[in-house]
């Protein structure tokens, strides 16, 4: 199923009544920058959803830096934004699709089928001379009933079992940059390293040289060594930048893809969880 749509696809459908466009721009460390950018200019008709205020729960001892939001609160937020079960949702950001993919994943998790990420992002939209304005849409709430897809998510206990088994029956994929994966640097979390047994696939490799998403063939090439008959569990630092890899794996035709939403920041909140440093040995899947 198509998950990424070109800018011109959205431009042609700007005013179709069943489409809600969501601006997801957000900068880590600058929590107000995304909303300020939205208020300055955005795609016409777009509503704004904030990564930390709308698409995450408050931080607690466990759950990571961006815990999944409470389902009832999230569905209420979506409803207020005019997103109902029959709505087609198009999300965009200016962060390579990472924040938009978070909303894409959350909506898929809640059972929404018609949800897309706009290719390239807002800066490319503006550079192409397409319409922007600062007008804020009058929001008409829409009923949203969640149908939670529990098979899309794994919790820390399941990851612990995967690590303990160490039998290759499930593939763990770390979506962070290679130096963070190897534990050479850690600019955000308190502990460096990765979950034992995980392989590294940096999420930004889902993008081409122009900053747009690679096509299905390009995504498949990134994961050519991975088995299609086994479950894949994807994580990152806090569960946000893992979602572009989840999307990319789906584009590549993988069907057994799950998110460890708490990710590395949740994993290290349990002091007894093992930690690996350096590269993992080459693995043969089959």
Has residue 14 been placed in a domain?
yes
Has residue 43 been placed in a domain?
yes
Could you tell me if 179 and 98 lie in one domain? no
Write out pLDDT tens, residues 67-83.
999 999 999 999 999 99
Instruction: Spot the catalytic one: 236, 247, 248, 268.
Output: 236
Residue 98 clears pLDDT 50, i.e. is over it:
yes
Could you tell me if 165 and 96 lie in one domain? no
Residue 40: what are its φ and ψ, rounded to 5°?
-75, -45
- Residue in the block written with tokens 């040289």: 209
Has residue 203 been placed in a domain?
yes
Could you tell me if 8 and 116 lie in one domain? yes
Could you tell me if 13 and 122 lie in one domain? yes
Could you tell me if 120 and 180 lie in one domain? no
Residue 281 clears pLDDT 90, i.e. is over it:
no
Could you tell me if 180 and 117 lie in one domain? no
State whether the Cα torsion 139-116-59-27 is positive or negative. Answer: negative
CB atoms within 10 A of CB 160: 16
Q: Residue 51: which of 241, 259, 231 has the closest Cα?
A: 241
Q: Residue 212: which of 51, 17, 4, 37 has the closest Cα?
A: 4
Has residue 276 been placed in a domain?
no
The CATH number given to whatever domain includes residue 188 is 3.40.250.10
Quote the CA–CA distance of 198 and 209 in Å, as a whole number: 26
Q: Tell me which residue range forms the domain holding 102.
A: 4-127
Taking every pair of C-alpha atoms in the chain, what is the biggest distance, in angstroms?
55
Has residue 144 been placed in a domain?
no
The predicted model gives 229-251 an average pLDDT of 97
Residue 24 known to be catalytic: no
Confidence of residue 41 (pLDDT cuts 50, 70, 90): very high
Does this model's pTM top 0.75? yes
CA triple 253-256-260, angle to 5 deg: 120
Has residue 57 been placed in a domain?
yes
Q: Residue 263: what pLDDT?
A: 98
How many separate domains does the chain show?
2
CB atoms within 10 A of CB 88: 18
């Amino acid at each position: 199923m198509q998950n990424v749509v070109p800018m011109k696809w959205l431009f042609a459908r700007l005013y179709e009544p069943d489409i809600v466009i969501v601006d997801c721009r957000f900068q880590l460390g600058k929590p107000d920058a995304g909303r300020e950018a939205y208020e300055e200019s955005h795609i016409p008709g777009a509503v704004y959803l904030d990564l930390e205020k709308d698409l995450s729960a408050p931080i607690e001892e466990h759950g990571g830096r961006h815990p999944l939001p409470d389902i009832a609160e999230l569905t209420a937020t979506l409803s207020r934004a005019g997103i109902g079960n029959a709505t087609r949702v198009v999300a965009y950001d200016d962060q390579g699709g990472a924040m938009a993919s978070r909303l894409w994943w959350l909506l898929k998790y809640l059972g929404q089928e018609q949800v897309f990420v706009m290719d390239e992002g807002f800066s490319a939209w503006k550079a192409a001379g397409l319409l922007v304005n600062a007008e804020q849409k009058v929001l008409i709430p829409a009923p949203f009933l969640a149908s939670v897809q529990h098979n899309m998510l794994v919790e820390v206990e399941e990851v612990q079992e995967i690590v303990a088994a160490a039998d290759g029956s499930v593939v763990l994929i770390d979506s962070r940059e290679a130096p963070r994966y190897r534990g050479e640097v850690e600019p955000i979390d308190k502990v460096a390293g990765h979950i034992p047994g995980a392989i590294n696939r940096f999420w930004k490799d889902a993008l081409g040289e122009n900053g747009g998403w690679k096509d299905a063939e390009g995504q498949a090439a990134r994961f050519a060594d991975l088995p299609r008959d086994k479950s894949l569990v994807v994580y990152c630092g806090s569960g946000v930048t893992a979602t572009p890899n989840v999307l990319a794996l789906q584009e590549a035709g993988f069907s057994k893809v799950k998110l460890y939403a708490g990710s590395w920041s949740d994993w290290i909140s349990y002091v007894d969880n093992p930690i690996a440093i350096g590269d993992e040995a080459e693995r043969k899947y089959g």
